[in-house]
Amino acid sequence: MELKLTLNGRAVTAQIEADTLLLDFVRSHGCTSVKRGCETTNCGLCTVLLDGKPVLSCATLAARAAGRTVTTLEGLQEEAADFVGFIADQGADQCGFCNPGFVMNTIALLRENPDPTDDDIRAYLAGNLCRCSGYEGQLRGIRAYLDSRKG
């Protein structure tokens, strides 16, 4: 079947099988920040934005993105650069494997709620699995970023 969508700001048309996962589609188009982790929707490593909302691409058929906009970390480098340093400063990116999912969900959170509480942040990032940290480093990094924006 033919799939047409916008991927990171550019129009893409491709032939796909009906059972192609969005994860496999974006990776085949060079978006290697999207990772295959658990394949059970439990880790958040495959998070992409579909029309601006975070979705787990391991559980989304590519055909569901037809005519829509898909954004991966590759398409958000400038926006992500604003705060990833704050997360790194907290030692929260020890191996870095989970970072793209955290970054994608943080961007979605801050677009939806520019001044979240710590509980809001925890709730929004709850679907991201990190085996290196206790999640507090990510929380401290996001909080430090938000505090820096306030002046």
Give pLDDT, residue 138: 85
This prediction's pTM:
0.91
Higher-pLDDT residue of 119, 127: 119
Average pLDDT over the chain, rounded to an integer: 91
CA-to-CA distance for 48 and 68, rounded, in angstroms?
Answer: 13
Give pLDDT, residue 38: 86
The continuous run of DSSP H or E covering 2 comes out as strand 2-7
CA-to-CA distance for 55 and 74, rounded, in angstroms?
Answer: 16
Of all residues in the chain, the percent with pLDDT exceeding 70 is 99
Give pLDDT, residue 53: 94
Q: What is the pLDDT of residues 121-151, one digit of tens each?
A: 988 888 888 877 777 888 888 899 888 888 7
- Residue type at 141? G
Average pLDDT over residues 106-112: 92
Answer yes or no: are the C-beta atoms of 48 and 64 closer than 8 Å: no
Domains of the chain: 2-74 (3.10.20.30), 76-150 (1.10.150.120)
DSSP character at residue 69:
E
Residue 111: pLDDT band with limits 50, 70, 90 = very high
Instruction: Please tell me the chain's helix, strand, coil percentages from 3-state DSSP, rounded to the nearest 5.
Output: 45, 15, 40
Q: Give yes or no for residue 94 having a pLDDT over 80.
A: no
